[in-house]
């Protein structure tokens, strides 16, 4: 397993709609395992293939506390089948380091996806897992969590993010 490079805003791969996965082979499993290793090392609770520069519909998610047993989900070609309720939780993103914002998400979702063998899975998710699925599926559609911000908050984001990036460059 290897740790992959995480692409940061405004990389163009993050704004592209990812291609569906059609081949379920060892290459897909290796990519999924490398993505999981990258997510754990970051550390994060989810990672979509576009975030590592690969425009394919694959996400990895693990919302379990790190001390406990891992609850790793590999979701291929995921889609949200049902949504219910609304929550506002502060979100961050491995592709937008150092920036957090509260955005509206569905409180409960039903997600359909394929596992790494190509078998269909349907699961209900609430709380952090529901938010993580929505966040990662957005990545597959070329949507970043900051795209959900109001125009005013987006302008604040751009200014703040520019400062964050300048500070990181100074530390190098």
Query: Sorting pLDDT into bands at 50, 70 and 90, what band is 167?
Result: confident
- Percent of the chain residues past pLDDT 70, beyond the cut: 98
105 has which bridge partners?
A: 87
C-alpha closest to that of 158 among 9, 21, 55? 9
136: annotated active-site residue: yes
Instruction: Report pTM.
Output: 0.94
Query: Sorting pLDDT into bands at 50, 70 and 90, what band is 67?
Result: low
Homologous superfamily, domain 12-171: Peptide deformylase (3.90.45.10)
What is the predicted pLDDT for the residue at 164?
Answer: 86
pLDDT > 70? residue 73: yes
Could you give the C-alpha distances from 128 to 16, 68, 118, in angstroms and in order?
25, 16, 25
Length of the chain: 172
The residue from 67, 79, 84, 136 that is catalytic is 136
């Amino acid at each position: 397993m290897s740790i992959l490079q995480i692409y940061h805003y405004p990389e163009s791969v993050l704004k592209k709609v990812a291609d569906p996965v059609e081949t379920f082979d060892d290459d897909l499993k290796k990519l999924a395992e490398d993505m999981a290793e990258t997510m754990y090392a970051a550390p994060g609770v989810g990672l979509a293939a576009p975030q590592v520069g690969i425009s394919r519909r694959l996400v990895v998610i693990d919302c379990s506390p790190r001390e406990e047993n891992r609850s790793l989900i590999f979701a291929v070609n995921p889609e949200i089948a049902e949504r219910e309720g609304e929550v506002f939780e502060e979100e961050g993103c491995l592709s937008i380091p150092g920036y957090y914002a509260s955005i509206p998400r569905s409180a409960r979702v039903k997600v359909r996806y394929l596992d790494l063998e190509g078998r269909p899975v349907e699961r209900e998710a609430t709380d952090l897992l529901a938010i993580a699925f929505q966040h990662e599926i957005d990545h597959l559609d070329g949507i970043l969590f900051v795209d959900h911000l109001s125009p005013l908050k987006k302008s604040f984001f751009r200014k703040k993010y520019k400062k964050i990036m300048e500070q990181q460059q100074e530390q190098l």
